[in-house]
Amino acid sequence: MTRVPLFQVDAFAPGPFTGNPAAVVVLAQWPDDATLLAVAAENNLSETAFIVPDGDAWALRWFTPATEVDLCGHATLAAGFVVGERLRPGTDRVAFDSRAGRLTVWREGEAWCLDMPADPPAPVTPPDGLAPALGVPAHAIEAVRAGRFLMVALPDAGAVRALAPDFAALAALDTAAVLPTAPGDGVDFVSRCFAPGLGIPEDPVTGSAHAVLVPYWAARLGRTRLEAHQLSARGGRLACRLDGDRVVAGGPATLYLEGMITLEAQP
């Protein structure tokens, strides 16, 4: 048996019990994928980030309780925070190599910022069943765009806040997640993120969703710096900007828990 460090960090959170909690597990080498998935399921958070040192950078993978994913923003921010605050104290910039390529997390004052590939969503025909799955009349949907996730524009923040979707119906749609969004009250735009097919009925604050949302809103509003608010029960605010073919999303992070977990030694 071997013991490895585990941290739980609230990302995009000015204090505990806000933002999006992510687990960060620090490994010396990769165990088999079944072990990674079992740990993520045991943690039972929307995402667990696993990191392995690789020279000056870190290899990074993300798992929900149900599957591995190609990009997770809040868990990457959490991993950068753990490296900078606990593993290599004083480090202001952390590089990760992942399925999404090279990702960088850095410190800006009291906040941590994440750089990720932009995913501009393209217009698509609304899939059958989308409106009833969200619980809105079809005429309330102003636009539907698709990138990695399906983005659905609604008329105002109140419409996004009031959504009570049918998660089974959303899971049956051909998309990893559905992102309802609208102009914000006091911010540039608001959103929510429903991903029941990934084992996450509603994600509290979703960094990777903003890789889709920021290009859309930057074009719609005619500016590249945007303030966003994700309207989950925990809630979270993100300072975002579109930088060419990259999106930067930033906010504070708070350490909630640190300890050790026990894994079976690999042969």
Q: Give me the active site residues, please.
A: 47
Question: What single DSSP character describes residue 86?
Answer: I
The beta-strand segments (E) located in 99-176 are 101-108, 111-117, 122-123, 143-146, 150-153
Rounded alpha-carbon distances, angstroms, from residue 260 to 55, 59, 78, 117, 208? 23, 20, 17, 33, 28
Q: Are 250 and 108 in contact (CB under 8 A)?
A: yes
> Is the distance from CB of 156 to CB of 183 less than 8 angstroms?
yes
Q: Is the C-alpha dihedral spanning 65, 22, 234, 114 positive or negative? A: negative
Contact 64, 46 (CB under 8 A): yes
